[in-house]
Amino acid sequence: MNVEIQSHHQARVSRRRMLQLTGASVAAAAMAAASEAPAFAQNGGAWDKTFPKSARVDHRKVTFKNRYGIALVGDLYLPKNRSNRPLPALAVGGPFGAVKEQSSGLYAQTMAERGFITLAFDPSYTGESGGQPRNVASPDINTEDFSAVIDYLGLHSSVDRERIGVIGICGWGGMALNAVAVDKRVKAVAVSTMYDMSRLMSKGYNDSVTLEQRTKSLEQLSRQRWQDAERGGPAYGPLSNELKGGEPQFLVDYHDYYRTPRGFHPRAVNSNASWTLTTPLSFMNMPLLTYIKEISPRPVLLIHGEKAHSRYFSETAYAAAAEPKELVIIPGAVHTDLYDRMDVIPFDRLTSFFTQHLAGGGARDRRTESS
């Protein structure tokens, strides 16, 4: 996640700082001319993920359209030892500003090793997926992206369409919960290190934005639309996740993942580009988790790090959700530890959660500490 209206420690920021943290990149302007059709990476089929390829999984690149006609590109992972019997499946998305070659792909491949068919995808307007302009996000369209993945999985001959779940990571955690609330085909949902992007962009971190500050931001973004219309395309600002010195630790952590060999990928907004300046507009007007209670009676699992600056997003989502629900807090973990730290991400818990709930059976309301 890299879209911000407020810094962690300041109630008011300059326009320049706001635009930097909302993630607009000059480098992304060159990407705006990309074809609307999906453009698979020209890498000769080489493995281009930020994690090693598993010998226990078959991988295929797939494409399909969402309800708005935007072509999405995904990585489908299938267990090598699968039988002819249809298997449970998982749609995996996130983090916000990432691509399927990063964290979502790692989650998807690992869960495929554990017996699930999984599909990690690039959301509309990002990565290899289609849509113009490039690098814009939408609470509606990106919620729809999850349901489009469910469409695809439900038509796959190896998938039991009555046993489909969802995993959302970081900012796509909020989108996952939003999608599952309305898409009753999904039987269970888990979110890891979740952000509610509409809450963040509307209210800032820890809900610190005042009405006056919100109004000023909306005035600036509204006028930015005239500038975009005049120039014939959206404006982009500084490259994402560059450090100038003095940033809060969580921004340093983002840099450590997205801008270093640990997690850098050239197609990721957070690694090599940035969002359009006006991306926050729809998020500031359309709350994502309005109907979170309607996920019930299907189970919700929320996973977050004890030391994560974003922990309160999962805690308040947990409080708002109806039973059955569970909140797992990982001792000592920060937000980005749950992106790729194999010794931190509770894959055993994710496996048991989906094994239980994609096979039927009940659940109960629990809040646990994971060691």
Res 34 pLDDT > 60: no
CATH code of the domain covering residue 275: 3.40.50.1820
- Asked, for residue 4, whether it belongs to a domain, the answer is no
The per-residue pLDDT for range 116-125, each reduced to its tens digit, is: 999 999 999 9
**β pairing state of 71-79 and 117-121:** antiparallel
Counted domains in the chain: 1
- Asked, for residue 143, whether it belongs to a domain, the answer is yes
- Asked, for residue 6, whether it belongs to a domain, the answer is no
List CB contacts of 231: < 8 A, sequence separation 6 or more.
Answer: none
Q: Please tell me the predicted confidence (pLDDT) of residue 237.
A: 82
Three-state secondary structure string covering 149-172: HHHHHHHCCCEEEEEEEEEEECHH
Res 288 pLDDT > 90: yes
Write down the mean pLDDT value for the chain.
88
Distance of CA 135 to the CA centre of its chain: 14
Backbone angles phi, psi at 5, to 5 degrees: -105, -30
Parent domain of 98: 15-369
Instruction: Tally helices (H) and strands (E) across the chain.
Output: 13, 9
- Asked, for residue 10, whether it belongs to a domain, the answer is no
Which contiguous run of DSSP H or E holds residue 254? helix 249-258
Which contiguous run of DSSP H or E holds residue 271? helix 269-272
Dihedral of alpha carbons 326, 2, 147, 87, sign: negative
Under the banding of pLDDT at 50, 70 and 90, the label for residue 40 is low
The per-residue pLDDT for range 56-75, each reduced to its tens digit, is: 999 999 999 999 999 999 99
Q: Please tell me the predicted confidence (pLDDT) of residue 1.
A: 55
Which contiguous run of DSSP H or E holds residue 323? none
Q: Which residue did the predictor score with more confidence, 135 or 28?
A: 135
Give the single-character DSSP code of 174: H
| pTM of the entire predicted model | 0.88
- Asked, for residue 186, whether it belongs to a domain, the answer is yes
Residues composing the chain: 371
What residues are paired with 15 via a beta bridge? Answer: none
- Asked, for residue 229, whether it belongs to a domain, the answer is yes
- Asked, for residue 2, whether it belongs to a domain, the answer is no
- Asked, for residue 160, whether it belongs to a domain, the answer is yes
